[in-house]
């Protein structure tokens, strides 16, 4: 199986030993506490689950600035985005060497992790702006990633963590949330060697379905891991339980058995386009995938990124040998009326725009909200029904 990024074996930061877990939870009762924001909590989940291997905690300012500018830590580890614990208020933890980190997204704010504080550093507004510009390629406050990142705070708390909770993800998505450890184990149990990962924050329509099929066939892969984001999205995106139901229905009806794993991970969407695509590659390697599908405007939002910037960054910014996972480059896919099948548009000869069935996301949401199914060339009817039920319940 493909090796994890940066080490020979996966090193999840979750404390699995029951006795040690209990001892740490008891210790946390007497420690100074820091309420995490959602972004820092999501980082803790990913560190605990092994997705951010080989990191052992939150980065300090030197690493954060180096990663933002050069895509590697101060010591030279390749990494695409800073993994930070930024906060507004440090009054409760000033001078502390060991603290409890609390979950902002779960009722009662239970302890998520215990942290050995290495440094508490003040980050200037200029440094925040610099990092945001490098990560997101823009400083437009309307960009959802920029808006979130620049509001997290100017205090950077760095150090190693021991993770004690996966937040709400295990309880809310027991059939879907999986750690990198669990996915590696299942890939091994299924006997898969060549494994394609498909990233999604949306329901899968015919084009997405066919893209997974194309990647499997062209790479001669053993299977696809559909890996959906379960954390926070921007307003208007479809909630995770609805996406989950759509994807499971599509896999159940339209893919051969033992060819697709439906899984999810606990992270908030960054909308960082190219940089996030590389982060996706890192943590898909950690979960055991040998290939990641990177399509048009991967992890993008609005018109902030070029259609294929998330592919070219692997040529321009990822050094040779930095990652073992390979990229399956995909063009925009759509149903061809001429060929009566879904194709990559750049591979369809003698086609005009009107030869394809193309619907904007806005148009799809509009017709679903009106109780009208999108054409079967765009969406499987069983998937469309789940979406229509959701949109009509929202509009009623």
Catalytic residue among 98, 190, 201, 365: 201
Is residue 340 part of the annotated active site? The answer reads no
Beta strands in the chain (DSSP E): 33-35, 57-58, 86-87, 98-102, 111-122, 155-163, 195-200, 223-229, 260-265, 291-294, 326-329, 333-336, 341-344, 356-357
Count Cβ atoms within 10 A of the Cβ of residue 218 and give its class: 0-12 exposed, 13-18 middle, 19 or more buried: exposed
Which residue, among 92, 333, 375, has the nearest Cα to 215 in the 3D structure?
333
The string over 128-142, giving b where at least 16 C-beta atoms fall within 10 Å of a residue's C-beta and e elsewhere, is bebbbebbbbbeeee
The closest alpha carbon to 167, from 31, 71, 48, 270, belongs to 48
Q: 288: left (phi > 0), else alpha (psi -120 to 50), else beta?
A: left
Q: Which of 202, 213, 248, 329 is catalytic?
A: 202
Residue 53: active-site member: no
Residues labelled as active-site residues: 201-202
């Amino acid at each position: 199986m493909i090796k994890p990024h940066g080490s020979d074996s996966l090193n999840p930061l979750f404390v699995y030993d029951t006795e040690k877990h209990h001892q740490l939870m008891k210790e946390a009762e007497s420690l100074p506490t820091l309420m995490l924001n959602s972004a820092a909590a999501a980082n803790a989940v990913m560190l605990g689950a092994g997705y951010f291997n080989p990191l052992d905690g939150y980065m300090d300012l030197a690493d954060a600035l180096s990663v933002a500018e050069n895509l590697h830590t101060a010591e030279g580890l390749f990494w695409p985005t800073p993994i930070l614990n930024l906060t507004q208020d440090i009054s409760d933890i000033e001078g502390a060497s060991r603290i409890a980190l609390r979950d902002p997204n779960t009722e009662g704010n239970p302890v998520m992790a215990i942290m050995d504080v290495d440094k508490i550093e003040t980050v200037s507004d200029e440094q925040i702006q610099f990092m945001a510009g490098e990560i997101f390629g823009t400083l437009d406050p309307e960009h959802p990633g920029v808006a979130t990142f620049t509001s997290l705070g100017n205090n950077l708390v760095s150090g190693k963590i021991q993770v004690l909770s996966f937040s709400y993800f295990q309880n809310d998505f027991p059939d879907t949330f999986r750690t990198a450890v669990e996915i590696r184990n299942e890939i091994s149990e299924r006997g898969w060697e060549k494994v394609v990962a498909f990233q999604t924050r949306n329901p899968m329509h015919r084009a997405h379905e066919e893209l997974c099929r194309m990647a499997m066939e062209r790479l001669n892969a053993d299977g696809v891991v559909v890996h959906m984001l379960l954390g926070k999205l921007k307003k208007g995106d479809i909630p995770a339980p609805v996406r989950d139901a759509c994807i499971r229905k599509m896999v159940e009806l339209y893919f051969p058995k033992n060819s697709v794993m439906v899984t999810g991970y606990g992270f908030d969407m960054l909308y960082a386009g190219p940089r996030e695509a590389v982060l996706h590659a890192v943590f898909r390697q950690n979960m055991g995938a040998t290939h990641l599908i990177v399509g048009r405007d991967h992890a993008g939002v609005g018109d902030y990124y070029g259609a294929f910037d998330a592919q070219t960054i692997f040529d321009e910014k990822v050094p040779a040998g930095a990652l073992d996972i390979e990229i399956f480059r995909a063009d925009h896919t759509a149903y061809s009326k001429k060929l009566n099948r879904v194709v990559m548009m750049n591979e369809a000869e003698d086609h005009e725009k009107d030869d394809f069935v193309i619907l904007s996301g806005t148009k799809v949401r509009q017709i679903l909200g009106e109780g009208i199914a999108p054409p079967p060339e765009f969406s499987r009817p069983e998937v469309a029904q789940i979406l229509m039920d959701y949109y009509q319940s929202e509009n009623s």
